Amino acid sequence: MEKKKGIKKIIIGIVIVILIFLGLIFFMAFKELQEEDILKQEIVNYSNKDFATDDFSIEVKTTGDRAYIEEAVKKYYKSLSDSIKAINNHLNDEELTNILTLNSLRNDSPNYIKSHELINNTKNKVTKELENISSLCEEETIKNLIDKDKLSDSEYYYEFYLDLMYTKKDLELLNATKKEMETLSTKFNEFLDKVDEILTFLETNANYIEYTDTNINFANDSLLDEYNTLVNDLTILANNMTNKESDI
**127-165 pLDDT, tens per residue?**
999 899 989 988 899 989 999 888 887 788 898 889 888
**10-60 pLDDT, tens per residue?**
666 565 655 454 444 544 544 555 678 888 888 888 888 888 899 999 999
- Report the distance separating Cα 201 and Cα 204, nearest Å: 5
pLDDT at 27: 40
Supply the DSSP string of 37-90, one letter for each residue: HHHHHHHHHHHTS-TTTS---------HHHHHHHHHHHHHHHHHHHHHHHHHHH
**162-211 pLDDT, tens per residue?**
988 888 887 888 888 888 888 888 888 999 999 999 999 999 999 999 99
216-218 and 209-211 strand pairing: antiparallel
Angle at alpha carbon of residue 38, lines to 34 and 40, rounded to 5°: 115
Supply the DSSP string of 218-239, one letter for each residue: ESSHHHHHHHHHHHHHHHHHHH
pLDDT for 222 beyond 90: yes
- Report the distance separating Cα 172 and Cα 166, nearest Å: 10
Q: What is the mean pLDDT of the chain?
A: 84
Residues 6+ apart with CB under 8 A from 162: 143
The backbone torsions φ and ψ at residue 246, rounded to the nearest 5 degrees and listed phi first, read -65, -15
- Report the distance separating Cα 60 and Cα 25, nearest Å: 24
Lowest mean pLDDT, pick from 54-63, 111-120, 176-185, 215-224: 176-185
What is the torsion angle, in degrees rounded to the nearest 10, for the CA atoms of residue 110, residue 113, residue 114 and residue 117?
150
**For the whole model, what pTM was predicted?**
0.80
pLDDT at 17: 55
